[in-house]
Amino acid sequence: MLGDKIFAGIATACGVLVLVILSAIIISLFVGGLPAFRAFGPGFLTNTDWDPVKQVYGAAVPIYGTLITAVLAILLAVPLAFGIAFYLTELAPQWFRQPVGTAIELLAAVPSIIYGMWGFFIIVPIMGDYVQPFLIDTLGEVPLIGALFQGPAFGTGILTSALILAIMILPFIAATMRDVFLTVPGVFKESAYGVGCTTWEVMRSIVLPYTRASVVGGVMLGLGRALGETMAVTFVIGNTNRISTSLFGPGNTIASIVALEFPESPAGSLKLSSLLALGFLLFVISFIVLAISRFLLRTKVTK
Amino acid sequence: MKIASTALAIALAGISTAALAQPITGAGSSFAAPIYGKWGEAAAAAIGTKLNYQSIGSGAGINQVNARTVDFGASDMPVKAEDLAAHKLMQFPTVIGGVVIIVNIPGVEPDQLKLSGELLSEFYLGKITKWNDAKIVEMNNGLKLPDLAIAPVYRADGSGTTFVFTDYLSMLDPNWKSTVGSSTSVKWPVGNGAKGSEGVSAVVRQVKGGIGYAESAYAAQNHLTTTQMRNKAGSFVKPNMESFAAAAKFADWSKVQNFAIDLNDQQGAASWPIESATFVLLPTDAKDPAQTQAVIKFFDSSFKNGNKIATDLLYVPLPEAIQNTIRAAWSAQYKG
């Protein structure tokens, strides 16, 4: 009896500890960022300046960079992940499903610094020598969207970061999709095939509607990872505090600017406070994304 | 048997001296980390002082010594006199290093291209955008320059090297001073950032038309394509030990307080125009004065025996007169 009580007490303490740690982090980030919020007010969110000489700091560029790279990464990763999951659950021969599934999981286990180095030394030169010049010469000439594909071909920039991020979040999204596709009761699919549906029609009309909420939830988990990724992005984004119209232009994300500027921020300075404020904002953005994903996953469970 | 016991005795003696001397701890400048590492090895052998140095960046090093978590801090940017007083610190330089310009222009060999501070400023302000701009061609009589976009690259992480470079641009171009200024990180009007000197040099190597800056030691070890620079006397100099040392000789140390000298744009026909000393910050009210004494002993010994090590790593040792002035400052500060 006593053993039971002790065990229950310890387990409760473990559970509560998570909440304590989480709120401690949020509170300390907020308190640390308070001088910056006070100094710049709501303008902190919209100011595009980041000028350590004049002591003016704004969060607009890193927030923009964080959101645009993450959204682009999702746009690139989701169709690919869908293809992988669809292939693995419907088309691939049985003997082939296991190796591909394992490879996807291995991709998820690669540390982000490896993606960063690989991106910097392999992907960036390819982008700079072939992909970007090609896109500048073709899409760059098109009216309206042309502005997105202009500028010098550094190889680094928003698009390259999005590409690396897409590869990094691909396994999370693909694995979630595969798992939820497998939850579709066979009887549904068999009935659809029975009335003469093609594979694509079964996917579109049976599997996707049945799993839609979970698929969106999986995408949101990928988005959450893309938002907070630091090292891989820092290597390839070009690290510049400007909002450029071109996708080849350099940018900055919240995580990368914090990583780069932190060592040169004196204790008690406005710069350090601004970095902590940025950390707090990243927390808020990630929290919103996670909340949406939880909400979408829950609707599936209660159905 | 006899040999074995002698060896044992020597080993035991080694252990006992190591146990007696507590290691000294330092943190800061990554620019100075290679030389402090080598000096540390030399001092351990010569005077038995062990150094534990963490290369965490100048700003972080200043934070650590202000908090007194290390015995000394190391910074590439001299600390202001009022901050030294506020945190009860003594400042002295240890070694000098040059900052060089690296480029990637097809057909241009190392140390072939001639540049000036004014031109560099206009590159990084985005005013000159092509390598065949009339101003560059005029300066490089006869050198064939392509119709290629200039792609400026800079350190994205806060860095003492960036301070030295932007300070130089501020001196040469009033326009740079008013619009950008100098610091360990600034608001760059154009260009791409990369992490660390290794990042800057890799991007410059990858991008045709790229230009960047790096510490001389780093550039030399990696065989980067450096350029000549025009100095204050108006002559063009190549980046090497002679030109770095020439600039250090012309520096007038007597006019500055706390050794906070700016070595950029010095007089002299052979002087390299972009260089800086790196500094050590020592508490004047240390809890354990013995540790501070050990730090002083360490640098004293390094000044005495470490000049060869410094030149091997392409740093310029301080002129002997300055080393002696620093010794005098130590005795004045830490009497007894």
What does the pLDDT look like over B214-263, one tens digit per residue? Answer: 988 888 878 889 999 999 999 999 999 999 999 988 888 888 888 888 89
Report the CATH fold assignment for B99-250+262-275.
D-Maltodextrin-Binding Protein; domain 2 (3.40.190)
Q: B251 by DSSP, 3-state: which?
A: coil
Contacts of A261 in chain B (CB under 8 A): 157-158, 185
Q: Which of A264, A273, A274 to mutate to test the interface with B (most CBs of B within 10 A)?
A: A264
Nearest to B199 by CA among A165, A51, A260, A50: A260
If DSSP states are collapsed to H, E and C, what string results for B187-228?
CCCCCEEECHHHHHHHHHHHCCCEEEEEEHHHHHHCCCCECE
Nearest Cα of chain A lies from the Cα of B238 at a distance, in angstroms, of 28
The predicted structure's pLDDT at residue A44 = 92
Given a cut of 90, whether residue B71 has pLDDT beyond it is yes
**Which residues of chain B have a Cβ shorter than 8 Å from any chain A Cβ?**
56-60, 62-63, 66-67, 149, 151, 156-159, 180-188, 191-195, 199, 202-203, 206-207, 209
- Choice among B50-64, B158-172, B268-282 with the minimum mean pLDDT: B50-64
β-bridge pairing B316-317 and B24-28? unpaired
pTM score: 0.82
Q: Domain B2-97+276-333 adopts which CATH fold? A: D-Maltodextrin-Binding Protein; domain 2 (3.40.190)
CA distances in angstroms from B258 to A95, B59, B168, B287, listed in the order given: 74, 18, 21, 22
- Considering only CB atoms, A154 lies closest to which of B151, B158, B185, namely B151
Domain residue ranges of chain B, discontinuous segments joined by +: 2-97+276-333, 99-250+262-275
Q: Tell me chain A's radius of gyration from C-alpha atoms.
A: 23
Pair of tokens at residue A47:
């100011």
Asked if the Cβ–Cβ distance from A53 to B63 is below 8 Å, we say no
Dist. CA B64–CA A98, nearest whole Å: 52
Same fold, B2-97+276-333 and B99-250+262-275: yes
Position B293 pLDDT exceeds 60: yes
**pLDDT (0 to 100) of residue A52:** 86
Contacts of A77 (CB under 8 A, 6+ apart): A165, A166, A167, A169, A170, A173, A222
DSSP sequence for B37-81: HHHHHHHHHHT---EEEEE--HHHHHHHHHTTSSSEEEESSPPPH
pLDDT digits (tens, 9 = 90+) for A235-248: 888 888 888 888 88
Closest residue in B to A260 (Cα–Cα): B157
- B17-32 burial by CB neighbour count: b if 16+ within 10 A, else e? eeeeeeebbbbbbbbb
Predicted confidence at residue A303, as pLDDT, reads: 45
Q: A94-109 and A158-182 are packed helices; what angle lies between their axes, rounded to 10 degrees?
A: 140
pLDDT band at B18 (very low <50, low <70, confident <90, very high): very low
- The whole-number pLDDT of residue B326 equals 92
In this structure, what DSSP letter does residue A147 have?
Answer: G
Residue B4 pLDDT: 52
Structure confidence at residue B21 (pLDDT): 62
Q: Kindly report the CATH class assigned to A2-302.
A: mainly alpha
From B66, B181, B193, residue closest to A250, measured CB to CB: B193
d(Cα B55, Cα B37) in Å, to the nearest integer? 10
Q: What percent of chain B has pLDDT over 90?
A: 55
> What is the C-alpha separation between A222 and A104, in angstroms, rounded?
14
CA B108 to chain centre: 27
| % of chain B with per-residue pLDDT over 70 | 93
CA distance B104 to chain A (A): 13
Contact B186 A241 (CB under 8 A): no
* Domains of chain A by residue range: 2-302
Q: pLDDT tens for residues A184-204? A: 998 998 999 999 999 889 888
Confidence at residue A132, expressed as pLDDT on a 0 to 100 scale:
86
Average pLDDT, chain B: 88
Q: DSSP readout, B125-174?
A: HTS--BTT-HHHHHHSTT----S-B-EEEEE-S--HHHHHHHHHHHHH-H
Sorted by sequence, the CB contacts under 8 Å of residue B213 that are 6+ apart come out as B99, B100, B101, B102, B154, B155, B161, B165, B200, B274
Q: Residues of chain A whose pLDDT is less than 50?
A: 301-303
SS3 A196: coil
Question: Which of B164, B192, B198 to substitute to test the interface with A, most A CBs within 10 Å?
Answer: B192
